[in-house]
Amino acid sequence: MSDPLLSLPPDPEASAALAAQGLRLELVDPGDAPAVRSWLEADARGFTDPAPTDESVAEQYEDRRLRRTLAVVDDDAPEPVVGTIGVFPAELTAPGPAPVGAWAITSVSVAATHRRRGIARQLLEAELRTAVRAGLPLAILTVSEATIYSRYGFGPAVRVAALTIRTKRIRWTGPAPAGRVRYVGRDALLADVPGIFDAARRRTPGELDLGGLLLTGLLGRPSEGDRTRERRFVRYDDEAGAPQGYCSYRIEPNLDDFADGTLHVIHLVAATDDAYAALWRFLLEHDLVGRIEARLRSVDEPLRWMVSDQRAIRQTEQDHLWVRVLDVPGALGARGYAATGRLALDVDDPDGYAAGRWLLEVGEDRTGRARQIAAVPDGVPSLALDAPALGSLLLGGVPVDTLTRAGVVREGRPGDAARADVLLRSPRTPVLGEWF
Ligand SMILES: CC(C)(COP(=O)(O)OP(=O)(O)OC[C@H]1O[C@@H](n2cnc3c(N)ncnc32)[C@H](O)[C@@H]1OP(=O)(O)O)[C@@H](O)C(=O)NCCC(=O)NCCS
């Protein structure tokens, strides 16, 4: 395994609790092909995906080397893997120049035959403790069910939008970048994707580093057959010929009106504003397309300001990235801030990780330092909140004012929420364009 954090032993407390139910918590060795296959089969069953094939399993061996893979095993069950979780250490982009280290949790599933006996709880609590052992200040996840994770201290921090664009109704009014958009084959694009993605995610709060192989999955894998073959790929090269963005998409023809197809944006990644403009313009002006559907986009796309009629773009939103703060000084000290100032936070956290009264001090260099305090100093604004709310505020995408009006955050004195917002808000709206 490349990263030693991936092979930290299974959490002893969860192992003991599961053993009391006759179950084993195991770290799956990515070199053990039968064990990886059983785990992938359990994961697919849990998420109601089609059963893996020999080809898809073979493609995923390398991915498993980039993740920590744990299985709950019931030796008496015909399909013994009854619980799955996958984890990887990630750099999460936050406001400010440096990313924050995070324990990215994926693939939480429990066999329908073993549900509601506390297996998922053991897995999640185990990996929160492991994250602390690994020295990471945050755990993060994307969720298929939004009602499960606040009980573990996660709060929704990044919302995403699904866009529906009626292209016949608009003209492009945005800039006309001097570089070129060109078609590229999937395999040729593979070489450019890590560099482009890396530059793009570093300038976008809410994005994280996805290992190279996880990214290739986003381009479609050969085992996905027609789903991969119907994708088209374009790349934007700047004036100097350097690749700065790419888009994968597919077009669904309208058989009743061939000029009115639907273009589905699968993934659009731009490392520069020019790449963003050029790729969107290419999509919007595509012949035989009357409608564009794009998911996992920012709730605040600049695109809206690059077309002649904003109403041609409709969006629906949902929570996407959830954040759990495990180490308050570590998390608040790693992100940057929009202003100097001080803020006191009274955090209620029954699990203990973030509990306490904290003072955040942001200096002239816009970095923060947080430490535990006994009493709020005179004149310092203060907020009382729980651990999920702290997770929701961490990336600066959720206004403190909104949470205060919702009764989720309580301000010490009227006006404290507004003062906190000046410090905490991110100049760029966070987004996460992928599931992990
Ligand atoms: C969701 C899932 C992992 C839960 O596993 P489980 O072992 O049955 O969960 P647990 O028994 O440990 O329950 C943990 C807590 O979550 C709650 N919970 C479990 N599943 C839930 C659901 N689908 N919706 C809401 N709450 C749920 C339980 O009530 C329990 O709460 P409590 O401890 O406060 O009483 C399992 O049902 C599953 O695999 N579902 C399909 C895959 C999936 O959706 N995974 C989640 C990915 S984000």
Please state the rounded mean pLDDT for residues 244-259.
95
Final residue belonging to a domain, choices 289, 318, 347 = 318
Final residue belonging to a domain, choices 318, 338, 363 = 318
> Is there a single domain that holds both residue 250 and residue 178?
yes
Is the pLDDT at 189 greater than 50, yes or no? Answer: yes
User: Is residue 48 within 6 Å of ligand 1 at its C-beta?
Assistant: no
Which atom of ligand 1 lies nearest, measured to the CA of 123?
A: 12
436 is a catalytic site residue: yes
Residue 125, domain member (yes or no): yes
pLDDT for the residue numbered 212? 64
Render pLDDT for 315-360 as a digit per residue (tens, 0 to 9): 999 999 999 999 999 999 999 999 999 999 999 999 999 999 999 9
Which atom of ligand 1 lies nearest, measured to the CA of 115?
A: 8
Which atom of ligand 1 lies nearest, measured to the CA of 109?
A: 39
Within its chain, how far is the Cα of 2 from the centroid?
Answer: 22
Residue 55, domain member (yes or no): yes
Q: What's the gap in Å between 82 CA and the centre of ligand 1?
A: 13
Residue 77, domain member (yes or no): yes
> Is there a single domain that holds both residue 294 and residue 364?
no
In the chain, the number of structural domains is: 3
Average pLDDT of the chain, as a whole number = 95
Residue 430, domain member (yes or no): no
233 is a catalytic site residue: no
Residue 150, domain member (yes or no): no
Render pLDDT for 262-283 as a digit per residue (tens, 0 to 9): 999 999 999 999 999 999 999 9
Bridge partners of residue 289, in order along the sequence: 261
- In Å, how far are 106, 345, 359, 378 from 374, measured between CA atoms? 37, 11, 10, 13
SS3 70: strand
- pLDDT band, very low/low/confident/very high, at 62 (cuts 50, 70, 90): confident
> Is there a single domain that holds both residue 313 and residue 165?
yes
> Is there a single domain that holds both residue 344 and residue 405?
yes
User: Is residue 435 within 6 Å of ligand 1 at its C-beta?
Assistant: no
Q: What's the gap in Å between 116 CA and the centre of ligand 1?
A: 7
> Is there a single domain that holds both residue 65 and residue 207?
no
Final residue belonging to a domain, choices 142, 177, 206 = 142
What percent of the chain is predicted at pLDDT more than 90?
Answer: 90
pLDDT for the residue numbered 3? 87
> Is there a single domain that holds both residue 186 and residue 303?
yes
Residue 359, domain member (yes or no): yes
Is the pLDDT at 134 greater than 90, yes or no? Answer: yes
User: Is residue 115 within 6 Å of ligand 1 at its C-beta?
Assistant: yes
Please state the rounded mean pLDDT for residues 309-316.
98
- In Å, how far are 38, 319, 344, 379, 390 from 375, measured between CA atoms? 53, 34, 9, 12, 19
Return the CATH number at 376: 3.30.1050.10
- In Å, how far are 23, 27, 77, 411 from 71, measured between CA atoms? 10, 6, 14, 43
User: Is residue 319 within 6 Å of ligand 1 at its C-beta?
Assistant: no
> Is there a single domain that holds both residue 297 and residue 183?
yes
Residue 323, domain member (yes or no): no
Give counts: helices (H), strands (E), the chain: 12, 17
Residues in the chain, overall count? 436
Q: What's the gap in Å between 287 CA and the centre of ligand 1?
A: 46
> Is there a single domain that holds both residue 103 and residue 205?
no
User: Is residue 119 within 6 Å of ligand 1 at its C-beta?
Assistant: yes
- Enclosing domain of residue 311: 161-318
pLDDT for the residue numbered 223? 82
> Is there a single domain that holds both residue 118 and residue 221?
no
Report the sign of the C-alpha dihedral through residues 27, 32, 34, 38, in that order. Answer: positive
User: Is residue 46 within 6 Å of ligand 1 at its C-beta?
Assistant: yes
> Is there a single domain that holds both residue 313 and residue 333?
no
Is the pLDDT at 1 greater than 50, yes or no? Answer: no
Query: Whose alpha carbon is nearest atom 3 of ligand 1?
Result: 109
The whole-angstrom separation of Cα 371 and Cα 348 is: 16
The whole-angstrom separation of Cα 280 and Cα 172 is: 9
Q: Of 154, 246, 249, 436, which is the active-site residue?
A: 436
- Give the orientation angle of helix 54-65 with respect to helix 33-46, to 10 degrees: 100
Return the CATH number at 294: 3.40.630.30
Q: What's the gap in Å between 107 CA and the centre of ligand 1?
A: 12
Is the pLDDT at 365 greater than 90, yes or no? Answer: yes
Q: Of 88, 149, 197, 233, which is the active-site residue?
A: 149
User: Is residue 109 within 6 Å of ligand 1 at its C-beta?
Assistant: yes
Residue 151, domain member (yes or no): no
The whole-angstrom separation of Cα 307 and Cα 7 is: 49
For ligand 1, mutation pick of 125, 141, 145, 321 (most atoms within 8 Å of CB): 145
User: Is residue 393 within 6 Å of ligand 1 at its C-beta?
Assistant: no
> Is there a single domain that holds both residue 253 and residue 350?
no
> Is there a single domain that holds both residue 371 and residue 264?
no
Q: What's the gap in Å between 197 CA and the centre of ligand 1?
A: 33
